[in-house]
Amino acid sequence: MQDMETFVRALGALSLVFWLTTLAFRMDTTARRGIQAAAFLVFGFAMLIALFQTAVYFWR
């Protein structure tokens, strides 16, 4: 369980960093929007899992 939590946090952090770097660098706008959308979706999914894990932790 701890390994999964660490993996989810790392995935969320990496996707957020990747999304922010696409904001920082000038790229082709369509490619940049696609990359940003994908990275932000992964980040959002990771945050949902982290919130769910926190709720389960406090439920016990």
Amino acid at 20: L
Read off the pLDDT of residues 6-22 as tens digits, 9 standing for 90 and up. 777 777 777 777 777 77
- The ranges assigned to domains in the chain are 2-59
pLDDT of residue 3: 74
**For residues 40-48, average pLDDT:** 79
**Would you tell me how many other CB atoms lie within 10 Å of the CB of residue 54?**
11
| Percent of the chain scoring above 90 in pLDDT | 0
Sorting pLDDT into bands at 50, 70 and 90, what band is 49?
confident
Q: Quick one: the chain helix, strand, coil %, rounded to 5?
A: 90, 0, 10
How many angstroms separate the CA atoms of 60 and 46, rounded?
Answer: 21
pTM, full prediction: 0.51
Q: Is 3 exposed, middle or buried (0-12, 13-18, 19+ CB in 10 A)?
A: exposed
